[in-house]
Structure 1
Amino acid sequence: MKQLLINWLEIFLFGAVLWLWEIADPRTEIKYITEYPKELLNWVARFLFDIILTLGFAYCLRFLFTPTLLDAVANTGILSLPLWVRVIICYLLSDFTYYLIHRAMHSYQFLWLTHKWHHSIDVVWWLAGMRVSFMSLFLLRFAVLWVPLLQLPIETLIVMILYSATTHVNVKSHPWMGIIEWIFVTPRFHCIHHCSSTKVQGKNLGGMFTFFDRIFGTYVNPETINVEEEKFGLGDEQITAKMIVGI
């Protein structure tokens, strides 16, 4: 519990920096005086979900990480690699796993229900990115199991969470983002994923890296979409308790 509180404190401190970026270079004007109370309420739900899942997964790891599995990982020799190499491998494996889960959420109706609350975001900004249902958080936990499996410090996971916050930042598109996008997801890259238009639904699915989208045909070049003409959210559909839970 203490570590979870520390993690969230780090997220909000980092979020303050992202907010300053949004204020200095906004893609669209946001009425934070109305958006902050709304998203803070959503965050309370997210925080409660995190507590439940953190405690639950801590208990379940003893069953998931069987001696046979741990021996198999050790026998690959991967645990003898330098820490920085294992961190890179972890980020690649985690984001690939995330990509597969995320793509499945957009491909199958019963999984879409777990992801729907996240796409109810009609104003894309850093704190809104924390709007994730209980079932979605549960499924996405499997993408980060590589962290303990590769015996990496908790900071490895925190970096993933902080990076996810950067992808939802409300900032303008800039040419330098195109260079970064050869490898990494940028705010404008992920903003397209949140557009309601059917032509971009299920596109730009990567959480940290863009090359999985390029390899598997779900990439959309941000420079080909004018997001100012796009709509976001679920239209007139009301947010329900079932949507927040993800069922």
Structure 2
Amino acid sequence: MVRVRPGVMNNSLYPYLLFWGVGLLCFAAEWLHPAHPIRYRSVLWKDLLALGLYNLSFLLVVQVTDRIPIPQYLPVALYNLPSVWKLLLFYLVEDFGLYWVHRLMHTRTVWPVHRWHHSPTSLYWLAGIRATIPHIALFNLTYVAALPLLHEASGWVFQVIMVEHIVRNSWMHLNVTWNSAWLEWVFVTPRYHHIHHSSAPAHQVKNLGALLTIWDRLFGTYYNPDRIQGQLSFGLNERVTPARLVIGL
């Protein structure tokens, strides 16, 4: 479910306790400042099943992707770079890769592996957990490809990444409303990402960024959330059997 440095907290319940701790905070935020009305009783059980599938799929995927031999491309001159700078480099490379992988998923050929993620008609913090095995594999490749940048980095760096990755997915899909335009000059926010989940086809190829908004601005996929009038609707505009959605066919 989460990325952990080999040998660090592999047998710990900490990542799972953190996930549900964040989840409780998200529920509280959504109850206080909801962006859209949600009937949790009708959607929560589906996403709990999706969470179970995600955990099993992730454990399977990392057994393959983590064995991909990525050559050490960090220049020797940067080996002694402070860990915080290595972390920043890692995030720039990983996020750049995530943007292009996400953009690839919205091409006609690769769309089937990603559309389950767009199937929720109610968007809230747990709805973003829906992901097929190919979806997880493609996204995990960006982590693996950026990992050499953390050569000899301090152990705390990997714990920061683990916590941030847990928080990010819940944060992006959070059902809250607030004026976050100032933050969106740098970071993806819930209202920014909700546009991408809109059922309007034109919106689904916009705001593809995962952490930083700069890639959308640079490569022509930025959509200003302030342009949205009224409530967004979510979900697919096509009929697909549940089995095909989950498998990614």
TM-score, structure 2 normalization: 0.87
Of Structure 1 and Structure 2, the greater helix share is in: 1
Between the aligned partners of 1:123 and 1:138, the Cα distance in structure 2 is 25
1:240 Cα deviation (Å)?
2.3
Counterpart position of 1:85: 85
Q: Conserved in 2, the CA contact under 8 Å of 1:79 and 1:86?
A: no
Contact 1:147/1:157, CA 8 A, preserved across alignment: no
| Structure 1 gap ranges (5+) | none
Q: State the match for 1:171 in structure 2.
A: 176
* Aligned residue among 153, 158, 174 for 1:154: 158
Greater mean deviation of Cα atoms: 147-156 or 206-215: 147-156
Q: Deviations over 1:49-86 (max 9, x none)?
A: 0111122333x14xx13xxx22x3243x3332111111
Unaligned stretches of 5+ in structure 2? 1-8
Query: Does residue 53 in structure 1 map to residue 61 in structure 2?
Result: yes
Map 1:1-247; keep pairs closer than 5 Å. 2=10, 6-58=14-66, 60-61=67-68, 64-65=69-70, 69-70=71-72, 72-75=73-76, 77-107=77-107, 109-146=108-145, 148-151=147-150, 152=153, 153-158=157-162, 159-172=164-177, 174-175=178-179, 177-226=180-229, 228=231, 230-235=232-237, 237-247=239-249
Say whether the 8 Å CA contact 2:90–2:147 is kept in structure 1: no
- The alignment's TM-score, normalised by the length of structure 1, stands at 0.88
Residue 6 of structure 2 corresponds to which residue in structure 1?
none
Matching residue's letter, 1:165? S
Higher relative contact order (CA 8 A, sep 6+): 2
Per-residue Cα deviation, 1:75-103 (whole angstroms, up to 9, x for no partner) = 3x333211111111111111110000001
Offset of residue 5 of structure 1: 5.2
* 1:106/1:212 CA distance change after superposition, 3 Å: same
Residues 239 and 19 of structure 1: CA distance in aligned 2, closer, same or farther (over 3 Å) = farther
The verdict on how the C-alpha distance between 1:183 and 1:132 changes in structure 2, with shifts beyond 3 A counting, is same
Distance (Å, rounded) in 1 between the aligned partners of 2:27 and 2:79: 38
Q: Is the 8 A contact 2:187 2:212 kept in 1?
A: yes
Q: Say how many residue pairs are matched.
A: 235
TM-align CA RMSD: 2.0
